[in-house]
Amino acid sequence: MKNRQLGQKLYIKTYGCQMNVYDSGRMADILAPLGYALVDGPEDADMVILNTCHIREKAAEKVYSELGRLKRLKTAREKQGGRMILAVAGCVAQAESEEILDRAPFVDMVFGPQAYHRLPELLAALQRAGKAVLNTDFPPEPKFDHLPKDALDPGAAGTSAFLTVQEGCDKFCTFCVVPYTRGAEYSRPAEDVIAESGRLAAAGVREITLLGQNVNNYHGAEPPGTTRAGSSGTGSLETWGLGRLIRELGKIDGIERIRYTTSYPADMNDELIAAHGDVPELMPFLHLPMQSGSDTVLKAMNRRHTADDYRRLAGLLREARPDIGLSSDFIVGFPGETDADFDATLGLVEEIVFVQAYSFKYSQRPGTPAAAMDGQIPETVKSERLEALRDVLDAQQLAFNRSCVGRVLPVLLDRPGRKPGQLVGRSPYMQAVHVDDPIEGPGAIVRLAITAAHANSLKGGVEAQEAGAEPVEERATA
């Protein structure tokens, strides 16, 4: 194969969301046939890719500091007569393409999230041009059709895997860069997702997390030949929503747990809510960003939901699955946010009760409508509000963790812990559970008696472990 050079070392550093983790895996897949094998650090890598995040200013700035460090490695390599290709991918690349080359002219390649399938072409162009290559187009062809389908190395996938089913966003929340960096919403055909899930299951994966910026607005083409009530199943293809897709994925042998993230409240439809009640593989945990509890702020954010909509949704989800654990994202200090608006957020959090959540100070992102709004909030006020909100959210998380002590939870063991012999797994509610003396290895779902609760994790006792036992979901009462 053209371009193929055996024994090349590839280091990918991933910032930001789970979709970037997935994307980094796909970049490794597409570079593997060119002779690139992943290594754990940049020191002797032949190619380094920074897969970047642009969501908040801090995330973007980290990239430039890392580039400074990498420049020293690259220069040292060149002095020894070698070469290190330095690439910036992801959302910073998409948003700041030329600025990156201005600030860091030693970078060789800059390409956005929609160009990953073109990596071999871009590398070839770099060899030809001998100068930096930049690609931030939104190409007409869906990249998923051009990414390798059979690259999965059995055993390399681990026990839990991400799977992108939807990408991009048409919502245009006024604070957010995603619609500009990831482009328009696109859903992968259901057939492709089912096939990829099957390959993951065959490689030993037991839990899949379906990814998308608006994953609950998934509407992928149904598999060809699908029969529908009142139809012959021929003619033009209809689309499946996420609830339907999850129902199908639950039937795949080996896939025992399904999760999805991130969801948009207005897109939580009845079919998906119902799936929470009757698809046993769908875990009782949902990340559903609220952002604010004030209708005035929600409107200024261009969120298409009110505080009441969120309340109603939480109620419907709990009706369908009484033990569902809700998680959320919050932004404090959005332009114009008053003390009363912020109190409305605190009030709604107290009312809904979350098992975990992320909260952020509003960060002005160039080019987004909110960045130019009047009423920007001073940093000190943002910090105070963030602390007050975190106090409430942390207390809710700890209370939930403590409520698990004395229960038996099915835990998917997936990685070694810090102590020798210790394993760490996930409860159905996404809590990390440590077990000191496991009798089964990673990949097993074991029933553990929860003996202790911490701020961010649980401890599971070996006494309830039953090797090979059918995991039984124990549900808490509402």
List the interface residues with ligand 5AD, window 173-202 (CB under 6 A).
175-176
- Shortest separation between residue 291's beta carbon and ligand 5AD, angstroms: 6
Interacting positions 342-361 with ligand 5AD (CB under 6 A): 360
Nearer to ligand 5AD, 289 or 293 (CB): 289
Q: Which does 169 bind (CB under 5 to 8 A by kind): ligand 5AD, ligand SF4, none?
A: ligand SF4
Write down the least CB distance from residue 405 to ligand 5AD, Å: 30
| 329 binds ligand 5AD, rule: CB under 6 A | yes
| Nearest CB to ligand SF4, comparing residues 48 and 176 | 176
Pick between residue 100 and residue 178 the one whose CB is nearest to ligand SF4: 178
Q: Which of 135, 159, 209, 213 binds ligand SF4 (CB under 6 A)?
A: 213
CB of 260 to ligand SF4, least distance (A): 14
Of 260 and 360, nearer to ligand 5AD (C-beta) is: 360
> Per rule CB under 6 A, is residue 359 in the interface with ligand SF4?
no
Cα separation, 75 vs 81, in Å, equals 10
- Which of 93, 107, 176, 424 touches ligand SF4 by CB under 6 A? 176
Q: Does 362 bind ligand 5AD (CB under 6 A)?
A: yes
Whole-Å CA distances, 85 to 12, 26, 48, 77, 135: 12, 18, 6, 11, 16
Number of residues that bind ligand SF4 (CB under 6 A): 10
Chosen from ligand 5AD, ligand SF4, none, partner binding at 179 (C-beta under 5 to 8 Å by type): ligand SF4
Q: Binding partner of residue 362 among ligand SF4, ligand 5AD, none, CB under 5 to 8 Å per kind? A: ligand 5AD
Q: Residue holding tokens 């309830």? A: 464
113-172 binders of ligand SF4 (CB under 6 A): 169, 171-172
Chain residue whose CB lies nearest ligand 5AD: 329
Q: Which does 56 bind (CB under 5 to 8 A by kind): ligand SF4, ligand 5AD, none?
A: ligand 5AD
- Minimum separation from the CB atom of position 365 to ligand 5AD (A): 5
Binders of ligand 5AD among residues 286 to 305 (CB under 6 A) are 289, 291
Spatial distance between the Cα atoms of 197 and 253, rounded to a whole number of angstroms: 10
When binding is defined by CB under 6 A, the residue of 28, 31, 60, 178 that contacts ligand SF4 is 178
The site partner of 55 among ligand 5AD, ligand SF4, none (C-beta below 5 to 8 Å per kind) is ligand 5AD
Query: How would you classify the pairing of strands 220-221 and 239-240?
Result: antiparallel
Instruction: Write the secondary structure of the chain as one string of H (helix), E (strand) and C (coil).
Output: CCCCCCCEEEEEEECCCHHHHHHHHHHHHHHHHHCEEECCCCCCCCEEEEEECCCCHHHHHHHHHHHHHHHHHHHHHHHCCCCCEEEEEHHHHHHHHHHHHHHCCCCCEEECHHHHHHHHHHHHHHHHHCCCEEECCCCCCCHHHHCCCCCCCCCCCCCEEEEECEECCCCCCCCCCHHHHCCCCEECCHHHHHHHHHHHHHCCCCEEEEECCCHHHCCEECCCCCCCCCCCCCCCCCEECHHHHHHHHCCCCCCCEEEEECCCHHHCCHHHHHHHHHCCCECCEEECCCECCCHHHHHHCCCCCCHHHHHHHHHHHHHHCCCCEEEEEEEECCCCCCHHHHHHHHHHHHHHCCCEEEEEECCCCCCCHHHHCCCCCCHHHHHHHHHHHHHHHHHHHHHHHHHCCCCEEEEEEEEECCCCCCEEEECCCCCEEEECCCCCCCCCEEEEEEEEECCCEEEEEHHHCCCCCCCCCCCCCC
CB of residue 334 to ligand 5AD, shortest distance in Å: 8
Distance in Å, CB of 57 to ligand 5AD, minimum: 8
User: Would you give the binding string for ligand 5AD spanning residues 240-279, x where CB under 6 A is met?
Assistant: ----------------------------------------
Binding residues for ligand 5AD, rule: CB under 6 A, are 55-56, 175-176, 289, 291, 329, 331, 360, 362-363, 365
Binding residues for ligand SF4, rule: CB under 6 A, are 169, 171-173, 176, 178-179, 213-214, 264
